[in-house]
Amino acid sequence: MRCCGYFLTRNLKRGYSPYPDARVPICVVFSQPIKYLGPFFFSSMDKNIWFLTNAVLGSLTVNIGLWLLLGDLPIPGSLALIVGLAGLLAWQTPTIAHIWAVSTLLLGLESLAWPVLQMAEIQKLGPEPPLEDLQRIFTAVLFGLFSGVFWMTFSYGIYKRIRSQQKPPEPSKSAPSLGGKKKKKGKGNR
């Protein structure tokens, strides 16, 4: 990695750098842990705030999807859903990636439920609904299935990434060496 300059550590707040007047390459400064850069980036307290913020944003996303699904959602019910789902996500999910995996999974399920609700609504009109309503069902089926599959696949991708990051690295199997075994000399090979 090529460095683009130097950063004097005395520019950091006193107490964060073990060497207050050292010259550190900028590429090294930005690859250091967050605690080293203390006042410039997020501390551990901010990580908790970001976690809770993502829980609220995830529940807000699910709530907007439900609002689009049902058409009208009462405000008290909507607020209760946002607060309840945000609390559940913050309580049950260990990371931000888990929050968004659950949120996108719920959004995918809502997208798949949209065509079913449209068909149930059209069925109330009788045996021969108007052409406009049939076009609305076609649009709901087409976009509902497409977006439902998209969001559920996206959620699966997040889960797969989480799972791959949690697994310990497997030991690599090296190819057997060709010269590892010596041939035994027989009676004819002297």
Confidence of residue 172 (pLDDT cuts 50, 70, 90): low
Instruction: Answer yes or no: are the C-beta atoms of 158 and 104 closer than 8 Å.
Output: yes
**What sign does the dihedral 179-182-183-185 (CA atoms) show?**
positive
**What sign does the dihedral 88-92-96-102 (CA atoms) show?**
negative
Give dist(CA 130, CA 124) in Å, integer. Answer: 12
Confidence of residue 134 (pLDDT cuts 50, 70, 90): confident
The predicted pLDDT at position 181 comes to 57
HSE toward the beta carbon, residue 75, CA cutoff 13 A: 0
Give dist(CA 79, CA 102) in Å, integer. Answer: 19
3-state secondary structure 65-97: HHHHHHCCCCHHHHHHHHHHHHHHHHHHCCCHH
Give dist(CA 73, CA 98) in Å, integer. Answer: 27
Instruction: Answer yes or no: are the C-beta atoms of 26 and 5 closer than 8 Å.
Output: yes
**pLDDT tens digits along 65-99:** 999 888 888 899 999 999 999 999 999 999 999 99
